[in-house]
Structure 1
């Protein structure tokens, strides 16, 4: 924070100014301190302003949960500014591009949940039907995710109970006896960290269908009002909060996220295994405070990361596996 002095005739007006970087641009937040202040009074008001502006900066960096709050004009502008950084074009992927994406996505989304398969393993399974000496469940779920991607490519529903159950059934039909079935009465889930501490409790089983129906209603009411990446982030995060299945919620949630993007004619996004920690932190921010911004930024950053990789790929003369952004 620094002091800004403006002359107004023979008087001086004092402002406390806080600069922060937002999407490559410098944003300045100002608070008026007073006019023609003595050094003592100026120091006093500057100290008071510092505390106020610290909270203001915190609020600026947060975007409240749209499920419970109507977003302000400032928050909408922040979202649009963040999404603009992705430079995401409305595109149509050809079959080769979809084939490549489905393998990369399957590897990463399963690795986040503990799969031992490598990307090469997944490619051998999908392209050559060559099975590695790895867990049979990991192999079947890698194939299941690829099949689920094909399913959401052709889906017409943006979000619904039937769609959610259908995606889960496709991914886990050969590995989980409860594939496509919500948790039944008495089956509750708790998410624990590596030390065994409970960091999140899923919704009570009796409320699952009601909560998902409410989420669907909210989405349908706002799908033409809010930016698509925000909609995808909210549906994904709230789905993870509800945790409707006994297992497999993470993979289904990331497929739902992509389904929302596709329905708005945006390209699919891959949450990389290497960004697992940032992904979990964005979920915790939403669960603990309702701040959706970290998830929106994570999606945008993953778009940008892929755009850079695609650009490097093109420069090496190997074609362009997926056009996301750029010229």
Structure 2
């Protein structure tokens, strides 16, 4: 496992990245993010089908219209997220509702951007979601904690926020997709790239969330988010340069030598 702060810093020294390269990287990541975030929630489109829908607007024969709409909505939500990151806003209920509005949008206008007014359960889970009467109160409390917490590092804080948000389950549908957008909103504000949680890892994802939500044991979800942040930084580095590992290790050696030299001068 790498030190993700060092990895992130190494990725950031590659900036500014030429606009054409940046656009290609973003388009690649948007397709992969859209596929995985939707697949976790049961969307039937494959990665290739998601690419066709997003790039060419083609309807895939035999696949539900809802699945196509989810792909387009998720991609648009990621575009919206990218622009919102530039404004460096703090998370609030308005932003949460805006993300949800885009995700659900024309799929179910009755619930889009609106907190639920009825109880829900999470299938095959012991997690107890918030009563509809307490959703806003519990969101207010969570947001206040998040925006004032200073003892945890960025990834730890985001992982805990994510598990608590999913436990509140403020919407009738689209909570997972909204929660992962919020997670990326905060990560990207701190200089991390878009982080993708893959569909193939959803059992580990769900299990670590449930452990956090039912036992207030956040070790697994923190470890899981750390791992996915690391994988996403590495993916960006692989798309930016060949032999990135060798160059990264050389950069670390240079910094180590420089620090030693600085210490000697002080002595």
TM-score (norm 1): 0.66
Normalized per residue, the structure richer in strand is 1
* Matched residue, 2:152: 226
2:92·2:143 contact (CA, 8 Å) conserved in 1? yes
Q: 1:324 deviation in Å?
A: 11
Q: 1:303 deviation in Å?
A: 3.2
* Matched residue, 1:76: none
* Matched residue, 2:259: none
* Matched residue, 1:180: 113
CA distance, structure 2, for counterparts of residue 324 and residue 136 of structure 1:
43
2:107 is equivalent to residue 153 of structure 1: no
Closer, same or farther in 2 for the Cα pair 1:259/1:85, shift >3 Å? closer
Root-mean-square deviation over aligned CA pairs: 2.5
2:98 is equivalent to residue 171 of structure 1: no
Q: Deviations over 1:122-171 (max 9, x none)?
A: 11111112221211111111111111111111223231100110000001
CA distance, structure 2, for counterparts of residue 248 and residue 294 of structure 1:
23
Closer, same or farther in 2 for the Cα pair 1:278/1:325, shift >3 Å? farther
2:3 is equivalent to residue 84 of structure 1: yes
Q: 1:326 deviation in Å?
A: 7.2
Structure ID, larger Rg: 1
Q: 1:299 deviation in Å?
A: 1.7
Decide which of 113, 121, 134 is 1:190's aligned counterpart: 121
2:76 is equivalent to residue 143 of structure 1: no
Q: 1:238 deviation in Å?
A: 0.8
Q: 1:310 deviation in Å?
A: 5.8
Closer, same or farther in 2 for the Cα pair 1:199/1:158, shift >3 Å? same
> What residue ranges of structure 2 are gaps of 5+ in the alignment?
249-267
2:81 is equivalent to residue 127 of structure 1: no
Decide which of 272, 277, 297 is 2:203's aligned counterpart: 277
CA distance, structure 2, for counterparts of residue 325 and residue 189 of structure 1:
50
TM-score (norm 2): 0.80
> What residue ranges of structure 1 are gaps of 5+ in the alignment?
1-22, 24-82
CA distance, structure 2, for counterparts of residue 227 and residue 283 of structure 1:
19
SS in 2 for 1:205: coil
CA distance, structure 1, for counterparts of residue 235 and residue 113 of structure 2:
35
Closer, same or farther in 2 for the Cα pair 1:199/1:86, shift >3 Å? farther
* Matched residue, 1:116: 44
Aligned residue pairs total 233
2:215 is equivalent to residue 289 of structure 1: yes
Decide which of 156, 170, 185 is 1:244's aligned counterpart: 170
